[in-house]
Structures are given as structure tokens and as C-alpha cells.
Amino acid sequence: MRTPPLSAAVLAAAVAASALAGTVPAAAADAGGAASACVRPSTSGTTTLDVAFEGETYPVPVHVPADLRPGPVPLVLDLHGSSANGVIQMQVSGLSEVADDEGFVVAAPSGDIPLAPSSPPHPAGSWAWNVPGVPTTAGQLPPPTARDDVAFLARVVDVVSERLCTDDRRTYATGHSGGGRMTSTLGCRLSDRIAAIAPNAGLRAGRPDPDDVTVPEAGDCRPERAVPVVTFHGQQDVVNPYQGNGDLRWGYTAPLAVATWAELDECRRGPRTTAVSEHVTLTRYVGCRQGAAVHFYDVADGGHTWPGSDGPPHGPGLVTREIDASRIIWDFFEGYRLRGRL
């Protein structure tokens, strides 16, 4: 069992996690297809939920706001960047505070590919995601034995839904850097489970073509439905460069990733670009299939950082204060839900 130690704050709350184990999802459903009644444990705040997957057990930090309304509530997966973990990502994004205000659950699992530890090492470890067919920041493809993170994250959604009464129609994913690339993969491969995605500093539309990394590999991203996308990228990002680079991990440009998602979603109008602030513009593609939209916040002076973050910056460069990515993400997510799921 791979069980990395968690931060003191998370460990202090972990005692409450045992109350989660007996929760059973409700079988009833309303006319719209979502569960109309379920029992949520009284536990609130940040704790851990153990998720069993293929013979291993993984601790997943979760944040449950106090005084959630009865019945199913939305779930947001919050995926960390390379060399980080779920505990760090919750601090980077600040989505727990948004969840407290808006009434949704946040789950921040960790990758399972070990990377060189930070200095000093973080107690929850330094991990990378297994993005299919793509090297990690260490420059190597994941080994054949690496955990299938698409399947693992689907399992996380199942467990959180069952134990914390989250709505399968309103499950969303966001993430920073490598977590943004993993989020993009969920949009490509789990569009029947994930209602909308919000990669930060990491949007992809399929892996770079191994024969020409300046373009996405044809056929590597084939979502079953149109996926709403909101994304952010700094023009001064030196980790996942805005204008792309020559390697298989990153490859093509951020604007091409946005335009490719607009093509995948069959958007009929756009791009339309407007100024949001001195250094931020918003490019929108609308009129997309199944009501989707693609929104791109372009930060001229932004680095490899989370816009508006008050947490530890996980990456170099300026953290813009001109927008608050986490608030924007939730406002975008709130407009979308899957249809026809129980």
C-alpha cells in the first residue's frame, strides 16, 4: 500500500474520515437523472478519504464545506502539478474557500509516479501524473507498470460520489501544469463523466504528434461529447511555454490547444477576444455543439502560476492579481452538467 504521509493539518482531520466509510449512495433519481436523496456524513472541513484501486489504497485529501444543502452537490477534482501533491494543490488553487462559499466538494488526489523530492521534502511527496504516451518532467515515459490515472481518477469520482453524496452530473476537473495536462486527458477520455474542464498552464488537446510535436496527434483526443473548456496561460511561462517547445511532453502552442478544442467542440462562432484588464484578454469560442463553450484567459505578464493564488506558487514567474482563476473556474463550471446520468 502506497500511503504517503500528509500534512499536519490533514492528519489532524483524518480521524473524522472513518465516518465516511459507511455512506451508501441513494438509489432514487429525479426526473432529470440525478440522485434525489442520499445521506452525507456530518463531517466537514479538510480530511482524507481512502480510495482502493487495483490492490493499493491511496489517501485523497477532500474538502467538505459545513452546512451543505441536503442531496447531491457538485464535485471538483483539483489536480496538482508535477513534483507536487494534492495537499499542495489545495493551497495553490484555494478552491476550498470557493467551495465553502458556493457549496461543492473538492477532491485533490495525488499522482503515483515519484519525482525528485523538493527541498525540504514535502511530507506528502513529489509526484507526477501518468498522462498517456507523454514523458514526465523527468524526461522519461511512464513505465508500463505505472498506475492508469484515467481509470484511477474515475475511481476517485466513484468513491467520493458514494461516500460524500456528490452529483455524477456535476463532476468537474481542474489542475495546474502537469495536473492541467492530466485534466485535459480527462476531457478527452472521460467526457461521459466530467462535465467541464479547466486546465491552468497545461491545456492540451491530445498529446503532441511524435512525428511533429508542433501539432496534436490526430485521433489522440476523441471526446464522446462536446466538452466545455475554460483555461488560463501566461505568455511568460517558461515551464510549459506559451509558444510551445520541441519535446513530446509539451510540444505545440497554447493557442493551438485552445483552437483545437474549439474544433473538437464544433464551435461555430469565434475566436472573439476582449480585454479583461491591463494584461489579461479573454478569447471565446461559442455556439458550440451541445451548448459547450471554450474560454481562454491569456495573461501577457503571467508566469507558470495560478492566477490570483494566495498559496505557495508552484512554478516560476508572476502571479497575476488581475483575475482570480478559481472564482472564474467555478462560475464557468456552474453553467454545465451532464445529461442523462443517474
Q: How far is CA 143 from CA 60, 72, 79, 112, 162, in A?
A: 23, 38, 21, 11, 31
Q: Is the pLDDT of residue 3 over 70?
A: no
Per-residue pLDDT averaged across 291-307, rounded?
Answer: 98
Statement: residue 15 has pLDDT above 50: no
The one-letter code for the residue type at 250 is: W
User: Is 3 within the bounds of a domain?
Assistant: no
What CATH number corresponds to the domain at position 28? 3.40.50.1820
pLDDT digits (tens, 9 = 90+) for 221-243: 999 999 999 999 999 999 999 99
Written as one string, the DSSP assignment of 54-67 is TTEEEEEEEEE-TT
Structural domain that includes position 189: 8-333
129: pLDDT strictly greater than 50? yes
**DSSP code, position 17:** G
More confident residue, 312 or 23: 312
Is it the case that residue 216 has pLDDT exceeding 50?
yes
Residue 340 lies in a domain: no
**The pLDDT value given to residue 287:** 97
How many Cβ atoms sit within 10 Å of the Cβ of residue 93?
30
Report pLDDT for 209. Answer: 98
Res. 66: pLDDT tops 70? yes
Answer whether residue 22 shows pLDDT above 70: no
Name the grid cell of 134.
507523454
- With a pLDDT cut of 90, the percent of the chain lying above it is 82
Write down the pLDDT at residue 138. Answer: 87
Residues contacting 296, CB < 8 A, separation 6+: 230, 231, 232, 233, 254, 255, 258, 282, 283, 284
Give a yes or no: residue 191 inside a domain. Answer: yes
Domain assignment present for 339: no
pLDDT of residue 4: 41
CA distance 339 to 189: 17
- According to the model, what pLDDT value does residue 84 have? 96
Q: What is the mean pLDDT of residues 199-217?
A: 98
pLDDT at 173 over 70: yes
State residue 118's pLDDT score: 85
Specify the 3-state DSSP secondary structure of 313.
coil
List the one residue out of 113, 114, 104 whose CA is nearest residue 131. 113
Over residues 159-188, mean pLDDT: 97
What's the structural domain count of the chain? 1
Q: Lowest mean pLDDT of 12-16, 242-246, 250-254, name the range.
A: 12-16
Judge whether 341 lies within some domain: no
Structural domain contains residue 148:
yes
- The band of 2, judged by pLDDT with boundaries at 50, 70 and 90, is very low
Q: Residue 342 domain-assigned?
A: no
* pTM assigned to the model: 0.89
How confident is the model at residue 36, as a pLDDT?
Answer: 52
User: Does residue 338 lie in a domain region?
Assistant: no
What value does the mean pLDDT take over residues 134-141? 91
pLDDT at residue 285, rounded to an integer: 98
pLDDT of residue 1: 42
